[in-house]
């Protein structure tokens, strides 16, 4: 399993944001899963879609490029050698 996390929005406040972020690593650790801590890593500051929340195609490409090594590691665990 690959647990893919993300950070909470800043407006959520520290009381929510801190446990929210920890939840992903705790879940992965509990079950011995791989963790990709923040799928938006490297996308912040790039142009977004019209909703000003979701990445555009260029941002999606960054996400895919950054996550690829972790997805390959996951595939290596489930494919016969």
Q: How far is CA 16 from CA 8, 22, 43, 50, in A?
A: 8, 10, 22, 27
- What does the pLDDT look like over 2-58, one tens digit per residue? 999 998 888 899 999 989 989 999 999 999 999 999 988 888 777 777 777 788 888
* Confidence band, pLDDT 50/70/90 cuts, at residue 81: low
Domain ranges of the chain: 2-78
């Amino acid at each position: 399993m690959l647990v893919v996390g993300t950070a909470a929005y800043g407006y959520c406040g520290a009381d929510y944001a801190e446990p929210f972020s920890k939840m992903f690593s705790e879940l992965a650790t509990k079950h011995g899963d791989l963790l990709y801590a923040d799928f938006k890593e490297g996308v912040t500051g790039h142009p977004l879609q019209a909703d000003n929340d979701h990445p555009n195609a260029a941002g999606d490409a960054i996400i895919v490029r950054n996550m690829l090594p972790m997805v390959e590691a996951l595939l290596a665990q489930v494919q016969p050698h």
